[in-house]
Structure 1
Amino acid sequence: MPQQPSAQVTAAEISRIAGVTRATVSNWRRRYDDFPDPSGGTESSPLYDLETVRAWLASRGHASAASPAEELRTTLRLNPPSTDGDDGGTADLLLLVLAAARRTPEQLTAAARLPDEELALRAERDAASVADAVPSAGAVRFAGTDAAVLRALYACVRDEGGPATLGVLAERELEESAASGAYGTPDPLADLLARLVPGAPVRVLDPACGSGTLLEAAARRGATELYGQDVLPVQARRSAVGLMLAAPEATVTVRAADSLRADAFPGLDADAVLCTPPFGVRDWGHDELAYDPRWAYGVPARAESELAWVQHALAHLTPGGHAVLVMPPASAGRASGRRVRAELVRSGALRAVVALPVGASVPFHVGLQIWVLRRPEPGGAAGKSVLFVDTAETTAGAKTAGAKADARTGPRTRGGSRSASLDWERITAQALDAWHAFTRDPDAFEGEPGVARAVDVVDLLDETVDLTPTRLVRASRADVDPAKLAAEADATRRNLVEAAESLVRAAGYDDWDPAGDSARQWRTATVSDLARGGALTVLRTVPDTVRTRAQAASSGTGGDERPETRAALTGSDIASGSGPSGNPTGPYDDTAPVITVGDVLVRAVASGDGPMARVADEEDAGALLGHVHLFRPDPARLDPWFLAGFLGAEDNIAGASTGSTVLNVSPGRLRVPLLPLEEQRRYGEAFRRVHELRAEAQRATRLAEETARLLAGGLTGGQLLPSGEAPDARGQGDDSPH
């Protein structure tokens, strides 16, 4: 048996065990002579004996600060389970999680108290009891040397639930990376895919199920028969366990094999297929599958593995059933896939293509697409048109002085941020509204210029069969009513004039007096000093523990408003002057900081253009924190606008930032002048006017861009005429150029 590694922990692990920051651990090392000496590692990255550290922490009341999940995480690193497999023992532990989740808390407590050898035997029996339900599960073997991990796992399941424990195991062996080939689908995207399936499908298949996120979304919609397949055995096992924990009433069947080469469900006709197939795979079986009966729409080219997955999905549908797949944008227009795309369109199998913003899912730098397909019914009429929706144009409400901007008139930018920061509510609404209207009556569907359009099949079957939504949706500008476009352009132009007048007024403030022959010198204090003195409080984002997430998931809403339903204010919102637009990076418990009016908000990363700080107003109130520092001043001692003005100063931010490529702002190092409150208020009023000037400039810039876009589009689309040209002068006379 291989020798067990020494039980040594890093300073970061000590901080997690004790429930403190790494800075606190560093402080302990300097202040306390009895802090344990390093037992290994290097001078810059020392390691400490775990039991010695725990004894020291116990003497100071920190022994039980770590959550059960953190205890399991640390124990797995220090005492990996003994196994001869390639998955580091994760497969056996996955089985044990499923079995333990079916035990009562009392039974789990009793098991954890058994002697080492008895505990190992008990864990073997528990895991073996569910082995038949998990794909490729072999004989389970635990030894007495695994006792530490087994106790930690039982405690984690007991206190934080099976899903939370599964998450810890996933961090260890199933992390999302190119090396593992395992990537998760963000929950909002998974829910959107499931909701694009009409009706209430009972039998749902995911032939590349990964961790089972799409099948979980289907189960939330009422599916009771869940079928999954994944080429990675450990992923298949993880998916099976996760689905059984998330949907205990459903029948779960998961298999481990390559779906294209070795279909595990050859006779399955599903009501729906949901899938995010692997992208860009050339070795998918092109040569050996050349005569496969699944290629009813044409043999996919070697470079078109995604079109092979599309036909695999269609082959597993009942007539009239729907498949929804996440596809790379190249599949919509690549020349090698033209014949298959043409047949999908001609037969009526392709019903809709939805373009997603950049950052919706892996790979985050690409704007992915959703293809909605329907297996044609024998004798049924083929569709005459295909729906195209472009949700990729993200909008953000611009913050204006004294007024809340309409999010739909905000600046338009393409992607650039990860899935959590996207406006999934808007994306989902645009896709579903268009899809539902189209499915109710395709012939009467009018669409929305720039967002959704139904294109006739005959117009798609050209020499390229390009199915890119952005191109086809924008081509609908010619269908816009000239009178409506002229009215929209005129309204936007009038708003621009009003914004320009407001900008002139904001710039008209002229009470800027010179300080004298030299600049004024400040006597300053750090934020840390002010916080210790009670003049302000510094708050940061603190995601909840895994226990809270598990409890929230199992207990439903815990009050009038669950914190995780709130928007989050991000550093980008501060820079652009927009209201809270981000999604929380994870569920938050009821101790998470919530913004109130008068709080001072500072971006945590010093990069890019735009202001670094602002004072929270009514629009910000109630939001959670993204990657933002929150300073809550005592109004009797600090003026908020005075504080925001000096905290966001370039020199102040530069002096308090650390790092080379990414500059992280250390809030405690920021400095603030020590001035009487009355003088602070005078500075605060001046900073407020500067903020108003910047906000009005941003608003005017946004409206100028929108006005120019509408006017240019109207002129090129034929809805608007140059000033002075008669309505009947349309360039069609004899002297028009040829």
Structure 2
Amino acid sequence: MPQPSAQVTAAEISRIAGVTRATVSNWRRRHDDFPAPSGGTESSPLYDLEAVRGWLEARGQSSAATPSEELRTVLRIHGPGSGVAARLFPLVLATSRRSADELTALDELPDSDVIAHADSASAEVAVSVPEAEAVRFSADDVGALRALIRCVRDEGAQSALDVLAERELDDTASSGTYQTPAGLADLMARLLPGRTARVLDPACGSGTLLAAAARRGATELYGQDSLPVQAQRSAVRLLLSAADAQVTVRTGDTLRADAFPELMVGGVLCNPPYGDRDWGHEELAYDQRWAYGVPPRIESELAWTQHALAHLESGGHAVMVLPPATAARASGRRIRAELVRSGALRAVVGLPLGASAPLHIGMHVWVLQRPEPGGTDSKSVLFVDVSGDQREGPPSSPRDAYSRLRHRRTGVDWNTLSDEVLGHWTAYTDDPESFTDVPGAARAVPTIDLVDDLVDLTPARQVRAAPVDIDPAEVAEHAAEQLELLAASVNVLESAAGYEPWKAATESSQAWRTATVSDLVRGGALSLLRAAVPVGRGDSRTDSPGAHSTARPVLTASDIRNGARPSGTAEDLRTDAAHTVAAGDVLVRGVAGGSGIMARVADKADAEALLGHHIHLLRPDPARLDPWFLAGFLAADDNIAGASTGSTIVSVSPGRLRVPLLPLDEQRRYGAAFRRAYELRTAARRTAELAEETAQALLTGLTTGALLPPSEGPSA
């Protein structure tokens, strides 16, 4: 049977052809043979993809789509329910073990040989990938096979893996398959003791948490997921990124059919599904795992919590992401009380909105420990609140609430948040008895104070209690220092904003001729360097940043977005092929979306840092291009939109970005203006942060009795 063809919009046609949407509109009007719409509406027509491709080829218009976009398009052609994406999972692992030359040679083989090689390669890795034993390919799959081979060769196995998972999850109409953010996964892995070698994730999803554990030194990784596509994705991802670890991933309903009933591990990391009423309450009523009480039907989260504890060795730790209702819901009070009394619950961390899906809820992180026989009973529980809710107060309007949520979705500074949480956790575990409470941020609450009629474990409520030991002199000194810093920052902001009026442009001054970055690269005006991809299994490079000193900072995409200095570590790169940033380089984030800065020019403070993932580095010839002129125009919203591809993850194709062709003197005028705007933006951000910190210091001092109100009101 002939393969069904996908339908594409005019915008998708423009990306495939590497032209603007206006050009596609011109083609429709001027060429009678342009394919007629095959669906959609009059205002939003859809076109048959194969007909469009045929028309473009007849005109000699080559495709400008990236390999990952080509793979995504080919999968769409197969249509929903084909299952081709799931069959390709083991092949991602197999092809990742081949060199670029071997993959090129494979792509050049006849169709029958490509199919034979794919069957053979999949069989070789089937034992490592759940439900991959019966994978067989046919002539209908050749297009997808070739697209996968090219994607792995040109963009890496992880890129191909993400496209397949995206498509297969769409096919199954699955919900709740949220991927744990990398920053949160790293934080959770770091909350485990450093000696933890064997780690289990009973709801492994995409494998993010287990991958984070591997980066922290775990050598045995075990995962289970109820969705076969998630289990396959997790297995392949771990085999790619954790080459030295023993990886075992199984498919199945974890609570009803535990794939590892006898397994005992040193650590459990888990971001389980929540709000699940059909988790097996009736058939599991007498399960031996419920050592702290039978979970009520509406408390599936407490079932997952006890499942994690049941798999821990004596003294082992579990770190879990749970919804805030788990900490306070009346139905779970008795189990929470038992977890506290027994010493199994060690800490609860309140996260900000946007830190983890669902983004509109501030999730909690629970740290649990299986009590050791004869060990010292824990006398307190650590509560850490980094949600910021008590500092902001209630939103003033729905618009304010939406604004806060939108900021938090993209504004979580994981480095700062992790340092704060880990600092409190380390101080607490070193000596719980002498832990010093931090007002509004961290507090060790005695267990006897928690086991009451509510057993409310909400961090924001527990940390608001004022500590007893406060040195008023220290609080006053800190407040004075904050006020000085704020005053200095206000002066910087005032200076950044104090420029002469900006003049309106004439119509003729905007009629620029432009060139793409690809054109400028071919003309030698600049060099384009891309961030190295993480090393996977079978890669010829090392699996650690051995060639780089671990003391060298890494410039991350988050640093660019927030206007911050390089904050990553070489350990995060997992490659020895990272580029080094030089002063004058133009840095562009590789993934668009959200707020923040898209591009900036590296200065002396950025020089010698390693280039992190998802960043494009453009190194202009200063005799032909001004760096700030280049950065300013590259970061323009319409420029980024025109050079972006993808739906779930919007990737920026740097070669498609356009730059006006102006004389160097004129470039420098624009460059100076762009730099002023950048300085204004960063100064405003820093001033806002200092204002928030200063106000919080004053409020805390006043409410705890450490500061007295001024005898006089504010000066006029």
TM-score, scaled relative to structure 1: 0.72
- Equivalent residue, structure 1, for 2:38: 41
Amino acid corresponding to residue 412 of structure 2 in structure 1: L
Residue aligned with 1:474, SS: coil
Contact 2:85 2:164 survives alignment (8 Å): yes
Inter-partner Cα distance in structure 1 for 2:153 and 2:624 = 48
Residue aligned with 2:512, SS: helix
1:489 aligns with 2:484: no
1:261-291 Cα deviation digits (max 9, x unpaired): 1212211111211100001112212222222
- Equivalent residue, structure 1, for 2:447: 457
- Equivalent residue, structure 2, for 1:525: 509
Inter-partner Cα distance in structure 2 for 1:717 and 1:88 = 62
Alignment of 1:15-94 (within 5 A): 15-17=14-16, 20-23=18-21, 26=24, 29=27, 37-38=34-35, 40-41=37-38, 44-46=45-47, 47=49, 49=51, 52-53=54-55, 55-56=57-58, 59=60, 62=62, 66-79=65-78, 88-94=83-89
- Equivalent residue, structure 2, for 1:168: 163
2:304 is matched with which residue: 296, 305, 309?
309
- Equivalent residue, structure 2, for 1:475: 465
The verdict on how the C-alpha distance between 1:274 and 1:590 changes in structure 2, with shifts beyond 3 A counting, is closer
The verdict on how the C-alpha distance between 1:573 and 1:204 changes in structure 2, with shifts beyond 3 A counting, is closer
1:214 aligns with 2:215: no
- In the TM superposition, residue 330 of structure 1 has moved relative to its aligned partner by 1.8
Residue aligned with 1:361, SS: coil
Residue aligned with 1:372, SS: strand
Inter-partner Cα distance in structure 2 for 1:75 and 1:146 = 10
Inter-partner Cα distance in structure 1 for 2:533 and 2:496 = 48
Contact 2:268 2:312 survives alignment (8 Å): yes
The verdict on how the C-alpha distance between 1:205 and 1:169 changes in structure 2, with shifts beyond 3 A counting, is same
The verdict on how the C-alpha distance between 1:599 and 1:338 changes in structure 2, with shifts beyond 3 A counting, is same
Inter-partner Cα distance in structure 2 for 1:165 and 1:692 = 39
The verdict on how the C-alpha distance between 1:381 and 1:557 changes in structure 2, with shifts beyond 3 A counting, is closer
- In the TM superposition, residue 667 of structure 1 has moved relative to its aligned partner by 10
- Equivalent residue, structure 1, for 2:272: 277
- In the TM superposition, residue 304 of structure 1 has moved relative to its aligned partner by 1.5
Contact 1:68 1:155 survives alignment (8 Å): yes
Inter-partner Cα distance in structure 1 for 2:149 and 2:495 = 66
Alignment of 1:250-399 (within 5 A): 250-393=245-388
1:135 is matched with which residue: 121, 125, 130?
130
- In the TM superposition, residue 110 of structure 1 has moved relative to its aligned partner by 5.7
Inter-partner Cα distance in structure 2 for 1:468 and 1:474 = 11
The verdict on how the C-alpha distance between 1:488 and 1:384 changes in structure 2, with shifts beyond 3 A counting, is same
Greater Rg by CA: 1
- Equivalent residue, structure 2, for 1:403: none
- In the TM superposition, residue 230 of structure 1 has moved relative to its aligned partner by 0.9
1:715 is matched with which residue: 694, 702, 714?
702
- In the TM superposition, residue 16 of structure 1 has moved relative to its aligned partner by 4.9
1:233-268 Cα deviation digits (max 9, x unpaired): 222222223222333433322222111112122111
The alignment of Structure 1 onto Structure 2 pairs a total of residues equal to: 674
Inter-partner Cα distance in structure 1 for 2:367 and 2:28 = 61
The verdict on how the C-alpha distance between 1:445 and 1:697 changes in structure 2, with shifts beyond 3 A counting, is closer
- In the TM superposition, residue 331 of structure 1 has moved relative to its aligned partner by 1.4
Inter-partner Cα distance in structure 2 for 1:199 and 1:21 = 52
Inter-partner Cα distance in structure 2 for 1:157 and 1:684 = 38
Amino acid corresponding to residue 41 of structure 1 in structure 2: S
- In the TM superposition, residue 699 of structure 1 has moved relative to its aligned partner by 7.2
Inter-partner Cα distance in structure 2 for 1:360 and 1:245 = 26
Q: Runs of 5+ in structure 2 lacking a partner?
A: 390-402, 643-655
Q: Runs of 5+ in structure 1 lacking a partner?
A: 395-412, 659-665, 726-738
- In the TM superposition, residue 206 of structure 1 has moved relative to its aligned partner by 0.9
2:231 is matched with which residue: 232, 236, 250?
236
Inter-partner Cα distance in structure 2 for 1:129 and 1:631 = 43
Mean CA deviation greater in 265-274 or 471-480:
471-480
- Equivalent residue, structure 2, for 1:436: 426
1:644-689 Cα deviation digits (max 9, x unpaired): 9x999xxx999x999xxxxxxx99899x9x9x98xx98x9999999
Mean CA deviation greater in 619-628 or 93-102:
619-628
Percent sequence identity is 49
Amino acid corresponding to residue 468 of structure 1 in structure 2: T
Contact 1:95 1:134 survives alignment (8 Å): yes
Inter-partner Cα distance in structure 1 for 2:107 and 2:681 = 61
Inter-partner Cα distance in structure 2 for 1:573 and 1:705 = 16
Inter-partner Cα distance in structure 2 for 1:297 and 1:495 = 51
The verdict on how the C-alpha distance between 1:7 and 1:506 changes in structure 2, with shifts beyond 3 A counting, is closer
TM-score, scaled relative to structure 2: 0.74
Inter-partner Cα distance in structure 2 for 1:647 and 1:119 = 41
- In the TM superposition, residue 296 of structure 1 has moved relative to its aligned partner by 0.9
